[in-house]
Amino acid sequence: MRIAVLPMFALFQLVAQTSTAQTPMAHTPVARTPVAHTQRQDRLMKHPTLYRTVTIDDHSIFYREAGPKNAPAILLLHGLPSSSRMFDPLLSRLSDRYRLVAPDYPGFGHSDWPDPKKFAYTFDRYAEIMNRFTETLGISRYTLYMQDYGGPVGFRMLLAHPERVDALIVQDAVAHNEGLGVNWKTRRAFWADRAANEPALRSNLLSLAATRTRHVGNDPNVEGYDPDLWSDEFAFLSQPAQADIQSDLFYDYRTNVEAYPKWQAWMREKQPRLLVVWGKYDLSFDPGEPERYRQDVPNAEVHVLDAGHFALDTAADEIAALVGGFVGSR
């Protein structure tokens, strides 16, 4: 248990205030609260984020939810090595208009972390659980928001139940082999020979340096990033069993590459409503990937922002405006 300790400078301030209590104080103008901040606080009060769990296939699945139950739903699927927490900026900005639901996958965040020897950490399994998750919550129609790992989970859900998805939002998630960047040389070698390349893969994927780079990328404005973002994620990755869980799941990532043609064919045939939001400083994927989505869906909205792989880190207001306008334009 943490015990709050009053800093020494605060004690000095307290003593000084006490000793000058009788001294008349000059009038200090009251700062005005920005309108946008006030509106956001009103939304938080009316539609606070709730933190819940539900049991799916004997596993506890944690999720965050905000917004009216009868509002249009947005299902938010997170990436590696984040959790539903990455979507807090959207929940606080859009909960007045939409029902936002963001689950943690098994092995991530506050959901159960089953033993890799007893649970198949695969994208097929995740998609099955997430489909049952929406069924359990009674979410029969939704806009599907996919970031990073959310792409392969979401596209599998989509192909299994296309009737449930109103529209797609892609944030730094790949659906084309060419979209995998230079970092993927080590990762492809891991898929070809897991035993020989697992140590290199773990360093490439799970190290503190890799975790930081996923956020900052090559953004010159590093002071805009909260270092707690990657230090918290690295602490998560350093927990017992996480290296095995993440290695198993990433070994299964090769099945996504095999499935890309099916996802592309579905998009070209169905021409879904599609919003693509991309951070131009993302080093995880090839910068040409956003336009590849437009080749599949010519009417797609594509926006490349001054942001990294986790674009909500620094562009939350802009993304919330894009998402709100897109979902509301039905």
Q: Name the residues annotated as catalytic.
A: 309
Task: Report H helices in 138-178.
Answer: 150-160
Q: At what angle do helices 150-160 and 254-270 cross, to 10 degrees?
A: 50
Contacts of residue 105, Cβ cutoff 8 Å, sequence gap at least 6: 78, 111, 126, 129, 130, 149, 153
| Structural contact between residues 73 and 139, judged by C-beta atoms closer than 8 angstroms | yes
Spatial contact of 274 and 280, defined as CB atoms under 8 Å apart: no
Say how far apart CA 273 and CA 323 lie, in whole Å.
12
- Residue 263 CA to residue 255 CA, distance in Å, equals 12
Q: Given the structure tokens 């098994």, which residue do they identify?
A: 106
**Given the structure tokens 């996504």, which residue do they identify?**
256
Q: How many CA atoms lie within 13 A of 101 on its CB side?
A: 29
Q: For residue 65, give the 3-state DSSP assignment.
A: strand
Give the strand pairing for 99-103 and 142-147. Answer: unpaired
CB 303 within 8 A of CB 322: yes
Q: In whole angstroms, give the CA distance from residue 143 to residue 130.
A: 14
